[in-house]
Each structure stands twice: as structure tokens, then as C-alpha cells.
Amino acid sequence: MTRSFMRTQEEGIELSMIKAMELKASAIPDVVSLAQGIPSFDTLEVIKRYAISAIEEGRVSKYSLTPGLPILREAVEQTLARNHLYYDYSNEILITAGSIEGITATLLALLRPGEEVILLSPSYASYSQAVKVAHGRVVWAHLNEIAGWTLDIAHIRSCITPKTRAILFANPNNPTGTVFGENDLRMLAKLAVEYDLLLIVDEVYKELIYTNQPYWNPAQDPQFRRNIVTVYSFSKTYAMTGWRVAFAVGDASIMREILKVHDALVTCAPVVSQYAALAALELVGNEISSIRNAFRERRDRMCQHLDSMKNYFSYQFPTASYFVFPELLDKTRSSLDVAMEYLERAHVAVVPGSAFGPSGEHHIRFCFGRSPEDIDEAFGRLKKYYANLCTL
């Protein structure tokens, strides 16, 4: 039989380069990985204890309602309200199996085949694959690297066509560690209203901002609320990447359609993880500040290493997330070739910048969510790698 049943081949859907690098690294016993964005911390004890009690009390063995546990959605509603975001837990809040499921469900609910989604370049590698899963077409809008990876509103406007349905981005941005400010976001939201577009805002790194810059979501302004879907994950802030739990919020008219796709994909988010998320919202105290401070120290540590390698890298100091996205000064090799060299010769896993969009080429993403020991070991190996190159 010659016919292929694999639509992914026809649509060009690929495994995220982030996961592909981790797979390659798993075959090398002593690799130090600065690739995938996994925090080195364990899930906080108060969260684990609450989840265990939910298991022992028999509360997790059955499906929840498809939108999620009412008690968790109520907690989300209260948490959002403290940040001047007002959503009704009964029909505007959806608990999802990780943020990427919420994003993919939103795209599947929104797009007709061939319609377009604008992605910022660079941005998270899995966004483009999620658009393809939804039969959409990716249109790249470049960030302004010279101005600190900021939004270029005029360029984004030029990317809008009659087929454009949404603009999808993370704030803070992955991989650049940029926090987009209120003025630029307000202009972006005005574009969304003008062209009747949906802004899909991924706030997975919202709690990992290292400055006093005020954070703003366009949905805080009622005139933009109907054009915004916001997705938030517990994965990074609470060291819960393995629990696969997040939430999406938006106007009831939009969330009603997303709920249908969510039901078809997963029925409901894992119930034990929903109880863990409830504990994260209601029982975690100052631990988040401690985790944020630890990441800030690791950022400074990694940047000190990069400062000592100025012959090879130029970088912009990240103010959020746990990534640095330096530019390779040597443009004779692609970022993928360099990343593979690091893996094979230095046994250090990183992600090539090309994974994050066209303007990511000739950059490398380093994750400082890993332990200080891993950061030091990885950069020690990279320094030896470059020293050996110079002697060849």
C-alpha cells in the first residue's frame, strides 16, 4: 500500500526542536541540558501534600466537569480579579491540560483551513506547530531586536490580510525574556479591535519578571476584553511541568466554542492536577518570591559566563522568564549546526534559534532554569569547546 495516512507529513507538522534536542541528548549519557524549559526545583511540598490528600480521600478517580473543578475555577476567578481581570468562573474559565492544549484548542475552535495566525519572531517553538494542527497558516512578524526585542506595531499591521484571524504571543516572551509594555500592547489590542482579530496571550512566565515594571494584560481594559484569550500555566512558576495543568480565560462567546474542542481533545484536565493547581493558588505563600529570586541569581550567573565569552556571543539582558537568547558572532554556520556541535562535541544541549522563527537564526537559547551546578558545568564545557576550536 503506497498511500500515506499521515496528515502530519502533508501539513509539515514536526516535533518541536526543543523536544527533538532533548531526545537527541537522552542518547548521550553525560549531557548537561540547558535546552527544554524545565525548572530544577521540585513541586512545592504544600502542593504535593494537598494532591496526596485528594488521592487518599478518593476525590481524583473520576472525571471532573469538562471545564474543570468548580472550586478551582472559582479560585482562578478570584486570583484574576486581584489583577483587574474579571471573568465568570461558570462560563469564561476553562482548566486545560497544560497551556499548549489551551492554545491548540483555541486555534482549532477559531480557524478555518488556510486562515492565518500572526506569530512574533522569535517566539515559542510549538506555536507554529499548533497553528498547523489547526490547518492554519503561520505569518511571521519580526520583533525589533535593535530596540530590545520590542513589538514593531507598523510591521505587525503590514502582516494582516483578509485571512488573518489571530495574533498569538507570549508575554513575557520566550525565548527573548522580553516583557512587552502597556503602550505597545495597547496599540496591538487596538489593531485586534480594528481588524476583528483574536489576541491569544500566553502568560506562562508572568510570575518570573525581575524588574518593577508593571505588568499589563489588554483584557484589563474593557474595550479590548472580547478580543482577548489569555492562557496561564502552573508549570514554570510552581515547578509543575509534569502535572500538565493550566487555564484559559476569555469572553463567554469565545470560551463556549473552545470548550467543545477541549472536550473532544481531553474530556477534562487531570483531576489530581486540578487539585494541585488549587493548592498552588490558595496555599502557596512567599515561596514564589524565593523561586523568583533563585532564578534571578541564575540569570546573573549565566550572563557572567556569557560576558566572559564576548568573542563568541552578543546578548541582551533578559528581564523575565528563564532564558537568555544570545546572538552568535560567527555567522558562517547555522544555529542548528552550532547546537549539534555543542551536543556532539561538548555534550551540552541547547536549542538553535531557528526553532523560534526566521529572526531567531544565528542565536542560541540557553535555559537558566537549571541548577547553578549545571549552568557552571555546561559553560565550562563550552569554553573548552571554543578553546579547542582555536587550536585547530
Please answer whether residues 175 and 356 qualify as being in contact, where contact means their C-beta atoms are separated by less than 8 angstroms.
Answer: yes
- 359 vs 141, 150, 159, 329, CA distance in Å? 9, 13, 15, 15
- Which residue among 236, 251, 282 closes a domain? 282
**What residues does 120 pair with on adjacent strands?**
141
- Which residue among 253, 282, 311 closes a domain? 282
- Residues 265, 322, single domain; the answer is no
- Residues 34, 153, single domain; the answer is no
Say which amino acid occupies 157: R
For residue 320, the 8-state DSSP code is B
Q: What angle do CA 316, 154, 201 make, to 5 degrees?
A: 65
**Residue 389, pLDDT score:** 84
- Which residue among 263, 282, 301 closes a domain? 282
- Residues 99, 231, single domain; the answer is yes
Q: Give CA–CA dist 262/96, Å, rounded.
A: 8
pLDDT tens track, the chain, 392 positions = 345 555 655 668 888 888 999 999 999 999 999 999 999 999 999 999 999 999 999 999 999 999 999 999 999 999 999 999 999 999 999 999 999 999 999 999 999 999 999 999 999 999 999 999 999 999 999 999 999 999 999 999 999 999 999 999 999 999 999 999 999 999 999 999 999 999 999 999 999 999 998 899 999 999 999 999 999 999 999 999 999 999 999 999 999 999 999 999 999 999 999 999 999 999 998 899 999 999 999 999 999 999 999 999 999 999 999 999 999 999 999 999 999 999 999 999 999 999 999 999 999 999 999 999 999 999 999 999 999 987 65
- Residues 81, 164, single domain; the answer is yes
Helix spans in the chain (H)? 7-11, 17-26, 45-56, 70-81, 99-110, 125-133, 153-159, 182-195, 252-266, 271-282, 287-307, 335-341, 372-391
- Residues 80, 34, single domain; the answer is no
Give me the CATH number covering residue 154.
3.40.640.10
Please answer whether residues 210 and 182 qualify as being in contact, where contact means their C-beta atoms are separated by less than 8 angstroms.
Answer: no
> Residue 242 belongs to what domain range?
62-282
The packing angle between helices 99-110 and 125-133, to 10°, is 40
- Burial of 344: CB neighbours in 10 Å, binned 0-12, 13-18, 19+: exposed
User: How many domains in the chain?
Assistant: 2
**Residue 4, pLDDT score:** 54
* 141 sits in which H/E element: strand 137-142
